[in-house]
Amino acid sequence: MLPLEDLRKLNVKELEEEVNKSKIELLKLRLSVAARQNKETSKLKDLRKYVARINTIKHFMAREKVKENSKSSVTK
């Protein structure tokens, strides 16, 4: 898991890759906890929060892009 500062430096495509990788890891962890092979259930919560954090960053990037486009169209 990358720290927040490093996540903010990534572009949208890299963030998508990180989300996909984390979701796969989350699925594997869920299965191992369900099969009682892994007792570290706190990692489930951490991974869910990590995925949510990445999605939030992607959302803010999209909003910034819309703001930039609307400003440029107003000034034309």
Q: What is the average pLDDT value for the chain, to the nearest integer?
A: 92
Distance CA 8, CA 70 (A): 23
Q: Indicate whether 76 pLDDT > 60.
A: no
Name the pLDDT band for 69 (thresholds 50, 70, 90).
confident
Nearest by Cα to 10 from 58, 48, 46, 59:
58
Mean pLDDT across 7-32:
96
Please say whether the beta carbons of 44 and 30 come within 8 A.
Answer: yes
Q: Indicate whether 22 pLDDT > 90.
A: yes
Q: pLDDT, tens digit, for every residue of 44-56?
A: 999 999 999 999 9
Question: What is the CA 26 to chain-centroid distance, rounded?
Answer: 12
